Amino acid sequence: MTSLTGRALRLTVYIGEDDTWHHKPLYSEIVHRAHAAGLAGASVFRGVEGFGASSRIHTSRLLSLSEDLPVAVVVVDTEERVRAFLPQLDELVGEGLVTLDECEVVRYAGRASNPGTGPDTVDPEGEKSS
């Protein structure tokens, strides 16, 4: 597992849900490449409404029936590792917005390798183990 605490860089890629890379969702390609690059983690967040450079509003409201909702892919890792990943985004992202923000990682921990043994495990009586 990657260890990460202290100063870090947050990379956020804002794209459309319908954006693709070789017939696959673009957000999925970004996540898989981030994983292959050994970055600490990546998450995809689907928006309910938004607009970008095209000024066209995309919404999940029933009357609009938009399927191309906004999506944000967020990656956090050291500045060096995130900046090394940027050339891959140049290749992938034709339309969209890419931002970088300094941040501080307070805690970064994965699940325990044995299910039921981590610090957030609840025993049968409902007590949280420590």
Q: What is the pLDDT tens value at each position of the chain, 130 positions in all?
A: 466 888 999 999 999 999 999 999 999 999 999 999 999 999 999 988 877 777 777 777 656 556 688 999 999 999 999 999 999 999 999 999 999 999 999 988 877 665 555 444 444 455 544 4
If DSSP codes are grouped into helix, strand and coil, which group holds residue 83? Answer: helix
Strand-pair partners of 16 = 70
Q: What is the C-alpha to C-alpha distance for residues 101 and 114, in angstroms, rounded to an integer?
A: 34
Inter-residue contact 57 to 101 (CB < 8 Å): no
Q: What is the pLDDT of residue 63?
A: 60
Inter-residue contact 3 to 98 (CB < 8 Å): no
Place of tokens 């034709």: 94
Inter-residue contact 101 to 76 (CB < 8 Å): no
